[in-house]
């Protein structure tokens, strides 16, 4: 077999593998989108291309008299946005301190963060519930935000610290010679160079609260406080509910803010993830 023939065979096999993987990934998405336009409430007769497509399920979601979907959407956006902002701020300061300074307990602090990120959040659900009730944060969005921010700090601190370690410390020293203080160096020199990893952390910290169900279902009690995940679950779980096609329509709309944020930060992701993998 000639080299040219071998090259064509390898290329063909590569495309076949890629096409197969795309089919596995895209088929469930296409099916749920098609189901959202399917008339009725059952998914048994749903298909990717519905015969009698309808927008009735989307209209129901936006009708305040029939559904609280818009309230759940606003709650999720508020919680995810505030979680993203506070996570980026807290992680930036924490990672900068671990990357640039040497202090007592630094290694133990990093080791503690490493251990904490190995423990899944749902392992402490009972403790989280009791703590939220004792502090008056049960059934509040503030309690959820504090939980999400605290849970995001360990892993993201390691990720950002690895990236900040790649930024030459000579830049800090040059700024100090020119009279810049620590805060000015952090804000005007280090953070602009850390935009890729900030974008990665911002996206991760936005998606987690937006799609979380377990913790939100434990801490939230009233329907007006529900997030999208909890609200949509109750829509299909309540007695005589089973509104599966409406659930599908609500699930499709969840992807809109995540897609917008992803496309906005896309140019930063590759460099942010690769550079953040250096040894600390």
Q: What is the CATH number of the domain that holds 235?
A: 1.10.3720.10
What global pTM score does this model have? Answer: 0.83
Contact present, 68 and 62 (Cβ < 8 Å):
no
CA distance 209 to 24: 26
DSSP state of 176: H
Given a contact cutoff of 8 angstroms between Cβ atoms, the answer to whether 111 and 266 are in contact is: no
Local confidence pLDDT in tens for the 280 residues of the chain: 677 787 888 889 999 999 999 888 888 888 888 888 887 776 666 667 777 778 888 888 888 888 889 999 999 999 999 999 999 999 999 999 998 888 888 888 888 888 877 777 777 788 889 999 999 999 999 999 999 998 889 889 988 998 888 888 888 888 888 888 888 888 888 888 888 899 989 999 999 898 889 899 999 988 889 999 999 888 887 755 567 888 888 888 998 999 899 888 887 766 544 444 444 4
Last residue of a domain, one of 19, 39, 58: 58
Question: What does the pLDDT look like over 221-250, one tens digit per residue?
Answer: 888 899 999 998 888 877 555 678 888 888
Residue 139 gets the label, from left (phi > 0), alpha (psi -120 to 50) or beta, of left
Q: Which two tokens stand for residue 58?
A: 């989307």
- pLDDT, residue 75, reads 95
What is the domain count for the chain? 2
Same domain, 105 and 191: yes
Task: Return the pLDDT at 174.
Answer: 87
Domain shared by 41 and 72, yes or no: no
Is residue 193 one of the residues assigned to a domain?
A: yes
Both 163 and 245 in one domain: the answer is yes
- Residue 88 and residue 29 share a domain: no
Let me know if residue 206 belongs to a domain.
yes
In-domain check, residue 280: no
165's tokens? 């370690």
Cβ neighbors of 31 (< 8 A, separation 6 or more) are: 46, 47, 48
Instruction: Decide if 198 contacts 269 (C-beta within 8 A).
Output: no
Q: Residue 45's domain spans which residues?
A: 3-58
- Same domain, yes or no, for 74 and 139? yes
Instruction: Name the domain boundary from 42, 58, 74.
Output: 58
Residues 42 and 141 in one domain: no
Q: Are both 46 and 119 inside the same structural domain?
A: no
pLDDT of residue 276: 44
């Amino acid at each position: 077999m000639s080299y040219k023939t071998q090259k064509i065979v390898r290329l063909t096999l590569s495309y076949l593998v890629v096409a197969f993987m795309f089919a596995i990934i895209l088929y469930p998405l296409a099916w749920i989108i098609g189901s959202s336009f399917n008339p009725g409430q059952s998914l048994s007769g749903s298909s990717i291309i519905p015969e009698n497509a309808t927008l009735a399920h989307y209209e129901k979601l936006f009708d305040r008299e029939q559904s609280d979907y818009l309230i759940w959407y606003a709650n999720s956006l508020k919680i995810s946005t505030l979680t993203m902002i506070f996570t980026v701020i807290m992680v930036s300061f924490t990672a900068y301190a671990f990357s640039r300074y040497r202090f007592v307990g630094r290694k133990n602090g990093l080791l503690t963060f490493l251990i904490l990120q190995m423990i899944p959040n749902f392992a402490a659900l009972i403790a989280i519930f009791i703590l939220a009730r004792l502090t008056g944060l049960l059934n509040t969005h503030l309690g959820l935000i504090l939980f999400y921010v605290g849970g995001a700090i360990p892993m993201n601190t390691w990720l950002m610290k690895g990236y900040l370690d790649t930024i030459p410390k000579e830049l800090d020293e040059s700024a100090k010679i020119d009279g810049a203080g620590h805060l000015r160096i952090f804000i005007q020199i280090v953070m602009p160079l850390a935009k890729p990893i900030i974008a990665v952390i911002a996206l991760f910290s936005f998606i987690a609260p937006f799609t979380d169900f377990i913790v939100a279902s434990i801490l939230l009690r009233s329907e007006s406080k529900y997030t999208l995940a909890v609200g949509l679950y109750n829509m299909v779980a309540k007695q005589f509910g089973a509104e599966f096609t409406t659930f599908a329509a609500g699930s499709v709309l969840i992807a809109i803010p995540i897609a917008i944020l992803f496309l906005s930060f896309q140019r930063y992701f590759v460099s942010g993830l690769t550079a953040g993998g250096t040894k600390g």
